[in-house]
Amino acid sequence: MYVYFHMLATYQTVTYSMALQGAFWTWLGFFAAPGMSPVVFERKSWKLFAVNQSYNLVLLIIAALIFVAMG
């Protein structure tokens, strides 16, 4: 979260909409895309992918909203 907060500070995230947008794009690039590997290559369940990635997305959204609320 330290590195994530540093990234949010670098991009001057000051509004809640910016925080949500930053959380989504961070999730898409750094969590969802690499998280598809087990589904594609190991034939893991899409439901498992959805559960794991939903957790990661919610985690990033909460962290981003906390960052904006602190600043």
Distance from the Cα of residue 33 to its chain's centroid: 11
Q: Which tokens belong to 27?
A: 């999730």
Q: Which of 65, 4, 63 is nearest to 29 (CA)?
A: 4
DSSP structural state of residue 15: S
Rounded to two decimals, what is the model's pTM? 0.90
Q: How confident is the model at residue 32 (pLDDT cuts 50, 70, 90)?
A: very high
Report whether pLDDT(71) > 90: no
Domain range for 53: 2-70
* Number of structural domains in the chain: 1
The predicted pLDDT at position 13 comes to: 95
The predicted pLDDT at position 22 comes to: 95
Distance from the Cα of residue 36 to its chain's centroid: 14
